[in-house]
Structure 1
Amino acid sequence: MQQDEKVPIWSRVPSGVWVLISAACAIALWLAASAQLPAVFAPPQAVWEALISKAESGILLQHVWASLSRVLIGFGLAFVASIPVAFLMAWYDPFRHVVEPWIQFIRNIPPLAYVFLLIAWLGIGQQSKIAVIFIAAFLVMVVTIFQGVKGVDMTLIKAARVLGARQRDIFFKVTIPASTPFILVAARLGLSTSLTTLMASEIVGGDRGIGMMIQQASGYYEMDVVLLGIIMLGVIGICFEKIVRYLERRFTGWQETVQQ
């Protein structure tokens, strides 16, 4: 009984209640900001009305689908390409010595710096936007996966060799399973980077996309639509986060992890 009394009362509050409390605090801050700076922060009611209006006209679905398709295609291609490149870098030093300097060099360049080069090459259509997202997500994921592969416990590899495992068996039965958590972390970072880069690719050209919707609304000073676009990006990002967390629990449940 004494141990139960020492447990903080807030630790007994269900997680769903904390979500409601957090949402209530966010709405309260939003109302306060809209009251103090009405020209910048549209009130929740105005944003809700903008959501209904855009949804009924069908334009919101077009913007969301355009952005989602770009993110998913660019991220998917980057994810597929980053895994073999990262493993080759970790297992073959000559390949790493040639490729790693290029990766580190391009990784430090903001996507907005080369988006104009890609637009001049591929035009302002879908291809240039996907290419920008691909480059940014690939660089983040390949570095993360490479670090995970290099960090595989050598004790596991030595134990497998002692038991007579071949190099192929070590790769598929030791290295890949041990690197799976880092691959999923890379996926999470890649999705976040893809959403960030999406804005850089959409604001410089095109007629569809959440970034383009935000830019056009800001030009007409429609701050309710601007806030709507920002919230939509946040919602999409949270959905991606939930999906990756589910995959982490599904594929790395055998590991001891600290649930946050």
Structure 2
Amino acid sequence: MKKKKKISTERIISVCAVILFFAAWYLVTALELVDPKLIPTPKATWDSFVEVLTQGYKGHTLLQHLGTSMERLLKAFLLSVVTAVPLGLLSGFSSKIKAFVEPFIEFYRPLPPLAYYTLLTLALGIGNSSKIALLFLACFAPIYVACVSAVARIKEDYINAAYTVGATRMQVFWSVILPSCAAEIFVGLRTAIGVAYSTLVAAEMVAASSGIGWMVVDAGNWFRNDIIFVGIFVMGFTGLFIDWLLKFLEKKLVPWSGKD
């Protein structure tokens, strides 16, 4: 009962915080404490949202902009999952593989995306390939690091016990390593999707004509701060939904997460 009460209280606090944010936004704009050109009113933002939703922006509807971005994001994310997860687990399991791979990961991981985006466009062109590659690199490092860290946290007693009963290295990997790392892998996935979403604007800055990130950049060029706010809110709520979906999948696929 106490746990349910605590969760309910936290939800109330979260809702109140959101209400306070919108109330402060309304008061700041209603009292004209800032220039309306810099921060549009909630009503102006809502009107722009309806306009973009019904009439579109620069030849594409809001759903088309969002769909284009989601296609790029999800392709890059799925590609990073099927490559970074096994490579990260193998690197954590084998010091030799880690020694070979990790220098490259650690070299590019702290680099800002725009630092190597030009190289990607030169190599892959200005189409979707370079954008997906940029998002892939943004996703890859957090997932890889989370997987390596997860393997390092496994108690050696579990692995030794498996070897004691005659398990092979492959059996240890699938029956001990992977299940033990599953919860932390999902943490890496959630981190990666957040990093990739923040990179989306950079990915759509070059030679794009659609996408939610491109819409925000283009609106900034025309000082349409109302459209910028619309894009930010759409990206934020979409990011929340994706994060919720990953947490939902974690509960279904890793029911032992957080339990001793």
Fold match by TM threshold 0.5: yes
Correspondent of 1:51 among 38, 49, 52: 49
- Checking the alignment, whether the CA contact within 8 Å between 2:69 and 2:211 is kept in structure 1 is yes
RMSD across aligned positions (CA): 2.1
**Change in 2 beyond 3 A, CA 1:177/1:204:** same
Residue 211 of structure 1 deviates from its aligned partner by: 1.4
Aligned residues: 251
User: 3-state SS of the aligned residue for 1:36?
Assistant: coil
Partner of 2:17: 22
CA-CA distance at 1:63 after TM superposition: 0.9
Provide the rounded CA distance (Å) in 2 between the counterparts of 1:60 and 1:188.
25
Amino acid at match of 1:226: I
Distance 1:138 1:20 in 2: 34
Deviation for aligned residue 1:150? 2.2
Deviates more, 1:17-26 or 1:211-220: 17-26
Change (3 A) 1:170 1:67: same
| Cross-structure match for 1:179 | 181
Structure 1 distance, partners of 2:11, 2:108, is 42
Conserved 8 A contact 2:92-2:147: no
* Stretch moving more, 23-32 or 224-233: 23-32
Amino acid at match of 1:158: N
| Counterpart contact for 2:183–2:257, Cα < 8 Å | no
How high is the TM-score relative to the length of structure 2?
Answer: 0.90
Q: How many angstroms apart in 2 are the aligned matches of 1:74 and 1:11?
A: 38
Unaligned runs of 5+ in 2: none
CA distance in 2, matches of 1:163, 1:211: 54
- Using a 3 Å threshold, how does the CA distance of structure 1 residues 84 and 28 change in structure 2: closer, same or farther? same
Using the alignment, how far apart are the partners of 1:65 and 1:173 within structure 2? 38
Q: Which amino acid aligns with 2:118?
A: F
Does the 8 Å contact 2:76/2:132 carry over to 1? Answer: yes
Rate the CA distance shift 1:248–1:224 in 2: closer, same or farther, 3 A.
same
Counterpart for residue 113 of structure 1: 115
CA distance in 1, matches of 2:195, 2:127: 20
% identical equivalent positions: 29
Distance 1:231 1:169, change over 3 A: same
Residues 150-229 of structure 1: matches in 2 within 5 Å? 150-229=152-231
Which one of the candidate residues 124, 128, 135 is aligned to 1:122?
124
The Cα offsets for residues 118-166 of structure 1, whole Å up to 9 and x where unpaired, read as 1122222211110000011111211111111122111111122222323
CA deviation digits over 1:187-214, x for unaligned, max 9?
1011011101111111233100111111
Separation in 1, partners of 2:259, 2:40: 41
Unaligned runs of 5+ in 1: none
**Which letter maps to 1:46?**
A
| CA deviation after TM superposition for structure 1 residue 117, in Å | 1.4
TM-score, reference length from structure 1: 0.90
Give the C-alpha shift of residue 16 in structure 1.
4.9
SS in 1 for 2:132: helix
How far off is 1:18 after superposition? 3.6
| Matching residue of 1:92 | 94
Q: Corresponding residue for 1:82?
A: 84
How far residue 33 of structure 1 moved from its aligned partner, in angstroms, is 3.4
Q: Please name the residue that 1:41 is paired with.
A: 39
SS of corresponding position for 1:109: coil
Q: CA deviation at 1:11?
A: 4.6
SS of the residue aligned with 1:66? Answer: helix
